[in-house]
Amino acid sequence: MSPPRQAWLDVGPGETRGVITLDGRPERLLIARDGDPQVQALGARVNARVRRIERGLGSAFLDLGEGPDALLPLTGHAKGLTEGAAVEIEVAAEARRGKGAVARLLGPGQGAPALLAAGPAVADQLRTWAPGAIKQGPEARDAADLAEAQALEVEHALPGGGSIAVEPTRALVAIDVDLGARGTGGDAGRKALAANLAALKEAARLLRLKALGGLVVFDLVGRGQDGPALLAAAKAVFAPDEPGVSLGPVSRFGTLTLALPHRWRPVADLLLDEDGRPTPRTLAHRLVRALERQGRADPGARLVGVCAEDVAEAARPWIAALGPRFSIRAELGRGCADTDIRAL
């Protein structure tokens, strides 16, 4: 019998993806790309400099040397910091769109902003959730592709019927529970409770997969919610996210609110632009992986990836790693997401 959680590692040109599956379904997705600032990664130790102090906000803003400024809460010894001071910090939460990383003060620093020690590698993080062998190869790539696709979806089916929609906003993550076909016939109250319990369990997995945190609001189905049962279930399914989980009571409006800690950069922030479309780099990695896959299926062919200029520019650094059989060609007038592979 296989363990409930398994680890998968897909190492490709310019990008490493790690996946944890729970009972065969993706639960976590980590993506590390060549060129990403190491000073911004979770767990990195950095010599930083205090750029600005906002006493009214109880925060200091730190120059890490690369990327956006990090926020350091002015608690404990940090209350005595002054602008321009060098400090040694650890990245406690990665930056997300519109907000910088959150830092934890370790002590006084020395010199200019610089990386002192990188955060844990993808494989090391996978081992914390699934000790034992990490699977690699084509199956790991398939697991990473599936995890990436699910992480970017909004609506997700629930086991037994119904669905949930997970939609992050600037202020919170809204989760709407829909009974669907589960709601026809029978005891409506019992079916609503079953759907809400299934939604809590599924949402816990999906929020980890999408790397979403902060305030989360569930719009539950049905009336006269069984508050104690729902809170007990929420406490159990979100236990892997401790420490830092806070649960609120079920409101008279049929909502359940909780707060989850932010740790990793949301997957959508990395893969999509501000309009919700895959970035040229994301499309470039997908094209390179497709070329690799086609190359394995047809080992004698010379293959060219055809795409828009910005995707080709992003992909060129990694095409050489595939070998001389592979090339990239930009075509004028192609849309960013319009890519294909041709045999020469």
Q: What is the pLDDT of residues 256-298, one digit of tens each?
A: 999 999 999 999 999 999 999 999 999 999 999 999 999 999 9
Q: Per-residue pLDDT averaged across 223-252, rounded?
A: 93
Averaged confidence pLDDT in the chain: 94
Q: What is the model's pLDDT at position 182?
A: 62
Spatial neighbors of 337 by CB under 8 A, at least 6 apart, are 277, 278, 283
Q: What is the model's pLDDT at position 179?
A: 87
**Residue 187: pLDDT band by 50, 70, 90 thresholds?**
confident
Q: How many CA atoms lie within 13 A of 83 on its CB side?
A: 6
- Cα separation, 328 vs 303, in Å, equals 9
Collapsed DSSP state (helix, strand, coil) of residue 42: coil
Q: What is the model's pLDDT at position 29?
A: 98
153-267 and 272-343 in the same fold:
no
The superfamily CATH assigns to domain 43-117 is Nucleic acid-binding proteins (2.40.50.140)
CATH topology of domain 272-343: hypothetical protein PF0899 fold (3.30.2320)
Residue % of the chain over a pLDDT of 90 = 86
Q: What are phi and psi of 333, to 5 degrees?
A: 90, -5
**How many other CB atoms are there within 10 angstroms of residue 150's CB atom?**
17
**Residue 344: pLDDT band by 50, 70, 90 thresholds?**
confident
What is the model's pTM? 0.93
Q: What is the model's pLDDT at position 183?
A: 56
CATH of domain 153-267: 3.40.630
Q: Per-residue pLDDT averaged across 5-9, rounded?
A: 96
In the chain, domain spans: 5-36+122-138, 43-117, 153-267, 272-343
Does the N-terminal peptide bond of residue 243 adopt cis geometry, omega within 30 degrees of 0?
yes
Which of 70-79, 126-135, 180-189 shows the lowest mean pLDDT across its residues? 180-189
Asked whether the beta carbons of 91 and 48 are under 8 A apart, the reply is no
Asked whether the beta carbons of 39 and 66 are under 8 A apart, the reply is yes
Q: Residues of 313-338 as b/e, b for ≥16 C-beta within 10 angstroms?
A: ebbeebbeebeeebbbebeeebebee
28-69 tens-digit pLDDT: 999 999 999 999 999 999 999 999 999 999 999 999 999 999
Check whether 109 has a pLDDT greater than 70. Answer: yes
- R_g of the chain, CA atoms, integer Å: 23
